[in-house]
Structure 1
Amino acid sequence: MIFNLRQANLQDLEALIQLRLELLRETGEIKGDSDTANLAEATRKYLGEKMPSGEFLAWVAEVDSQIVATSGLVFFQRPPYNGNLSGLEAYIMNVYTIPMWRGLGNCYSIVKGNYQLCESN
């Protein structure tokens, strides 16, 4: 299966929110038929602020223009140390693939792209 790997943008916002909610359901952070409207709105606000500023970056894998996998990267700064004098670090998160698309290497490719970005900074 051929998939397109690209950095997400604000046009992908609703798909990113839905994939995050699915991830949280699968990990048990969202129980049953919980109302997710407030969580979705808080996520929309967060991504709407952090993506344009570069504080949160996301990648997606698409098949036939449908996003089937995603991964996020959050930068943070801690006090410098010998191995990292800038203190800038990144946290890879929100790694999720729609169940029917698992096992095809989508997330591996996305996380590899995140890692390469971190190495270049």
Structure 2
Amino acid sequence: MLKFPGIAVLAAGEASPGGLGSTLTLIVPLVLMFALMYFLLIRPQKKKEKKLREQIEAMVVGDNVVTIGGLVGQIVNIKDDEVTISTSVSKTLVTFKKSAINTIQKPISE
């Protein structure tokens, strides 16, 4: 007598029940899960990255920025892929790559 009935079924060569219906019940939840993950995680992140890239390309001298390290300052010079910001009242100048910018705030015009 066999202790594992599943092995006996496989050994006898009998077909397992199910077919197309059981395959669909396995595939459909996986497809739905990946679609949900795409629309909840990946797509919003890509939109945010695109918006930041557009803001970085449109920034001008005088805009206020926050870097990925948390440094806050005002743009005083823009070169190819570098930005120089003034960080304090004593006009400390720090140069960063454009990719290090996290947030851009336009100055409030009076």
**Which structure carries more strand by proportion?**
1
Instruction: Using CA pairs under 8 Å that are at least 6 residues apart, name the structure with larger relative contact order, 1 or 2.
Output: 1
TM-score under structure 2 length normalisation: 0.27
